[in-house]
Amino acid sequence: MQGLSCREEKILVLVRLRPLSEKEVASSEAADWECINDTTILYRNTLREGSTFPSAYSFDRVFRGDCATRQVYEEGAKEIALSVVNGINSSIFAYGQTSSGKTYTMVGITEYTVADIFDYIHRHEERAFAVKFSAIEIYNEAVRDLLSTDHTPLRLLDDPEKGTVVEKVTEEVLRDWNHLKELLSICEAQRQIGETLLNERSSRSHQIIRLTIESSAREFLGKGNSTTLAASVNFIDLAGSERASQALSAGARLKEGCHINRSLLTLGTVIRKLSKGRHGHINYRDSKLTRILQPCLGGNARTAIICTLSPARSHVEQTRNTLLFACCAK
């Protein structure tokens, strides 16, 4: 992928445009955005001709509305996600306004990654592997285990070796791809508890699915001198990005808005600093989200951000905000 090396690599910034929904088509929404090649997306609104908005935005890769998630995975996320089998941590984010396609994109990418990880394991019988799955939600800066019916917030602890760890989080040893589907549906059900509208909650909370892969060479197993390779890949379905701008305008009045502001804004600052070369102090500790992800951001960890966009004219302000975030990350 564009000759990116592991260590000095910048953050990979991808943009995915979704198609107009049936509802939008039925209400004669105009689609104002178009991917003109593999790297550039263009704003085309003839009614706004002569406006001062920049109209072309370029990124590592842009995906048109008719691209399948498989293609986004293969060309955008696969290499980064699978570096986990070689002991390299990584994080793949979906950033965008509610209804722009974050969950649609992340679920697909998680499933393709797991399929490829099991495929890799079957082709490398010389090593013994364990794949562990955990899932948490950050809502109001409280961390909740999505695999547990106990909703007591989980604490974050500083481990001298592993860095920040989520205390007592459930880790399931993943058996196969079907097991993943089971676990994902448990998470989905957990997220709905206590909410009348799923969208309401998912637009305000961040979800992190973490796969940790441990492996060791079979010939050394039980001989005391085997070294275990361990790394994690994180799939982060962020709160709707409209929450960042709303929280800014609402000030500190809403507790919830304020916290989402904190996690999303801290992430924004961290990402901007990382993209500028990873020098100086990085404020990972300012939010739960960035604390939890710290071992998988920066250093030699690899990061991709998939910015999801609605093409609809009525969403133009949020679409532009997302693109501005994406520009800061590259």
Binding footprint of Mg ion on the chain (CB under 5 A): 102-103, 202
Chosen from ligand ADP, Mg ion, none, partner binding at 262 (C-beta under 5 to 8 Å by type):
none
d(CA 6, CA 9): 6
- 25 vs 173 by CB, closer to ligand ADP: 25
**Minimum CB separation from ligand ADP for residue 315, in Å?**
11
Chosen from ligand ADP, Mg ion, none, partner binding at 170 (C-beta under 5 to 8 Å by type):
none
Residue 35 near residue 56, CB atoms below 8 Å: no
**Minimum CB separation from ligand ADP for residue 63, in Å?**
8
Q: Which residues bind ligand ADP (CB under 6 A)?
A: 18-19, 21, 96, 98-104, 308
d(CA 303, CA 90): 6
**3-state SS, residue 294:** helix
- 132 vs 320 by CB, closer to ligand ADP: 320
**Minimum CB separation from ligand ADP for residue 103, in Å?**
3
Q: Could you give the angle at the alpha carbon of 261 between the alpha carbons of 255 and 267, nearest 5°?
A: 140
Give residue number: closest CB to Mg ion: 103
Q: Given its phi and psi angles, is residue 168 left (phi above 0), alpha (psi -120 to 50 degrees) or beta?
A: left
- 278 vs 313 by CB, closer to ligand ADP: 313
Closest CA to 18 of 309, 322, 229: 309
**Minimum CB separation from ligand ADP for residue 18, in Å?**
4
**Minimum CB separation from Mg ion for residue 121, in Å?**
30
- 59 vs 284 by CB, closer to ligand ADP: 59
Chosen from ligand ADP, Mg ion, none, partner binding at 19 (C-beta under 5 to 8 Å by type):
ligand ADP
Chosen from Mg ion, ligand ADP, none, partner binding at 153 (C-beta under 5 to 8 Å by type):
none
Chosen from ligand ADP, Mg ion, none, partner binding at 21 (C-beta under 5 to 8 Å by type):
ligand ADP
Q: Which helix (H) or strand (E) holds 122?
A: helix 102-123
Residue linked to tokens 């920066």: 298
Buried-state track 202-241, b at ≥16 Cβ within 10 A, e below 16: bbbbbbbbbbbbbbbeeeeeeeeeeeebbbbbbbbbbbbb
- 197 vs 252 by CB, closer to ligand ADP: 197
- 24 vs 145 by CB, closer to ligand ADP: 24
Closest CA to 239 of 264, 258, 270, 266: 264
